[in-house]
Amino acid sequence: MEQSMFSLRASEIGTYLFCARAWWYRRQGIEPQNQAELIGGQHLHRQHGRQVLLAGLWRVLAWVLLLAALALLTAYCTWRVV
């Protein structure tokens, strides 16, 4: 009895978990017919990723400014007492 073996990549597992039908179509070599929508979705994901990165940078900047303000306040209060 002969068994056919096929390789399975880690990225395919993610595709399967998201949508088993999409995984099967890709395994069969069937191209999606909604290419424009897929490209639009990729664009939106990239845009969202940039927004998430920018929000993280703003958060870091806010913490740095808060710590600087606290350091200045501490220095000012110490100077006033002495």
User: pTM of the entire structure?
Assistant: 0.59
Q: What confidence score (pLDDT) does residue 1 get?
A: 53
Residue 38: phi, psi to the nearest 5?
Answer: -65, -40
pLDDT digits (tens, 9 = 90+) for 3-23: 677 788 888 898 899 899 989
The pLDDT of residue 2 is above 70:
no
User: What is the residue extent of each domain of the chain?
Assistant: 10-81
What is the DSSP-derived secondary structure letter of residue 1? Answer: -
Q: Where do we find the tokens 């939106």?
A: 44
State the burial class of residue 15 (Cβ atoms within 10 Å of its Cβ: 0-12, 13-18, 19+): middle
pLDDT digits (tens, 9 = 90+) for 39-72: 999 999 999 999 999 999 999 999 999 999 999 9
CA R_g for the chain: 26
Q: What confidence score (pLDDT) does residue 57 get?
A: 99
